[in-house]
Amino acid sequence: MIKVAINGYGTIGKRVADAVAAQPDMEVIGVSKTSVSAEAYIAKERGFPLYIADIEKRESFEKAGIPVAGDVEEMIKKADIVVDATPGGVGAKNRPIYELYKKKAIFQGGEDADVAEISFNAHANYKEAIGKQSARVVSCNTTGLVRVIHALDQAFGVEKVRAVMVRRGGDPNDIKRGPIDAIVLNPVTIPSHHGPDVRTVLPHINIVTLAMIVPTTFMHMHTVQADLKKETTRDAVLEVFRSHNRIGLVTKATKITSNAQLREYTQDLGRPRTDLWENGVFEDSVSVLDGKEFYCFQAIHQEADVIPENIDAIRALMGTVNDPDESIRMTNEALGFVA
Cα dihedral: 272, 278, 284, 287 (round 10): 170
By CB under 6 A, tell whether 64 contacts ligand NAD. Answer: no
Report the alpha-carbon distance of residue 305 to residue 147 in Å, rounded. 10
CB of 336 to ligand NAD, least distance (A): 20
Closer Cβ to ligand NAD, 111 or 283, answer by number: 111
**Residues 164 to 203: which contact ligand NAD by CB under 6 A?**
171
Kindly indicate which of the ranges 74-82, 105-113, 194-202, 292-300 contains the residues binding ligand NAD, using the contact rule CB under 6 A. 105-113
Comparing CA positions, the residue from 155, 139, 278, 247 lying closest to residue 198 is 139
Amino acid of residue 325 = D
Task: Give every CB contact of residue 38 below 8 A, 6+ residues apart in sequence.
Answer: none
CB of 74 to ligand NAD, least distance (A): 13
Task: Give every CB contact of residue 227 below 8 A, 6+ residues apart in sequence.
Answer: 158, 159, 160, 161, 292, 293, 294
Kindly indicate which of the ranges 86-94, 152-160, 269-277, 289-297 contains the residues binding ligand NAD, using the contact rule CB under 6 A. 86-94
Largest CA distance in the chain: 67
Contact 122/312 with Cβ under 8 angstroms?
A: yes
Closer Cβ to ligand NAD, 232 or 274, answer by number: 274
By CB under 6 A, tell whether 324 contacts ligand NAD. Answer: no
By CB under 6 A, tell whether 34 contacts ligand NAD. Answer: yes
Told to judge if 296 belongs to the known catalytic residues of this protein, a careful annotator would answer no
Amino acid of residue 256 = I
CB of 85 to ligand NAD, least distance (A): 5
Instruction: Return the bridge partners of 83, or none.
Output: 6, 106
CB of 197 to ligand NAD, least distance (A): 11
Binding test (CB under 6 A) with ligand NAD, winner from 86, 121, 200, 216 = 86
Q: Closest CB to ligand NAD belongs to which residue?
A: 10
CB atoms within 10 A of CB 318: 18
Q: Which is catalytic among the residues 4, 140, 198, 256?
A: 140
By CB under 6 A, tell whether 32 contacts ligand NAD. Answer: yes
By CB under 6 A, tell whether 121 contacts ligand NAD. Answer: no
Report the alpha-carbon distance of residue 98 to residue 247 in Å, rounded. 33
Question: What one-character-per-residue DSSP string does 126-145 give?
Answer: HHHHTT-SEEEEPPHHHHHH
Report the alpha-carbon distance of residue 190 to residue 178 in Å, rounded. 22
| Number of residues binding to ligand NAD, judged by CB under 6 A | 28
CB of 182 to ligand NAD, least distance (A): 20
**Residues 257 to 296: which contact ligand NAD by CB under 6 A?**
none
Residue 300 belongs to what H/E stretch?
strand 293-300
CB of 246 to ligand NAD, least distance (A): 15
Binding site for ligand NAD (CB under 6 A): 7-13, 32-34, 39, 53, 72, 85-88, 90, 108-111, 139-140, 171, 302-303, 306
Show which residues are catalytic: 140
